[in-house]
Amino acid sequence: MSTIAVIDFETTGVSPEQGARATEVAIVLLEQGRVVDRFQSLMNAGVRIPSFITQLTGITNAMVAAAPPAEQVMGEASRFVGEAPMVAHNAAFDRKFWVAELDRAGLSAPQPYACTVLLSRRLIPQAPSHKLGSLISFLGLPPAGRAHRALADAEMAASLLAHLQQQLQERWQLQADHALLSSLQRCSKAAVPGWLAQQRERHAAV
């Protein structure tokens, strides 16, 4: 049975290359489109949180000051994920922090990474927006707590992923795990439409 790790970070900025650090991480494990486990923790990276980030996320300097060190949290997160493929909404953002924070902890990041933004643009082109909250609302999926907190966003991304997984299964008559892993593990701007085109050709020939 294939396990997929859906991840979300809250951070002090947009790029670790510019000194931004993670303040919170959450991971939801999916098996066959169902949530089987969760991990969430604030983390203390030893940096101050800008006031506009606190206004956006609700995470304060006092909250992270009382949190475990970032290296400890990332070690726990890495063990929780193991070698499972990882998925995030806007994965380019989350993957940068996953790699950077693990590197600071002296750990590698070997997991393949994929993006529900890219896949949703191809499977749900009629959506007015491909932001996570907008897609959840458009598809009638249940919201999960406050937006811009890691666990709520990871839960919603997992719900979106399960929906996309079902679409892949119903549209291409493929077993859900196979459909998801064969496309998402190679997720890129070129790979996803190419994979979908292959499925169209394969089913047209049947």
Structurally, how many domains does the chain consist of?
1
The CATH number covering residue 100 comes to: 3.30.420.10
31 Cβ partners below 8 Å, 6+ apart? 1, 2, 3, 4
pLDDT at 116: 92
pLDDT at 180: 55
pLDDT at 123: 87
The span from the CA of 192 to the CA of 118, in Å, is 8
Least Cα distance to 63 among 103, 104, 12, 8 occurs for 12
Positive or negative, the Cα torsion across 83, 87, 88, 93? positive
SS3 36: strand
The span from the CA of 175 to the CA of 37, in Å, is 22
- For residue 92, the enclosing domain spans 3-204
Please give the structure tokens belonging to residue 111.
């997991």
SS3 50: coil
Q: Tens-of-pLDDT digits for all 206 residues of the chain?
A: 589 999 999 999 999 999 999 999 999 999 988 999 999 999 999 999 999 999 999 999 999 999 999 999 999 999 999 999 999 999 999 999 999 999 999 999 999 999 999 889 988 999 999 999 999 999 999 887 767 899 999 999 999 999 988 887 777 665 545 445 555 555 434 444 454 455 444 434 43
Do you know the residue count of the chain?
A: 206
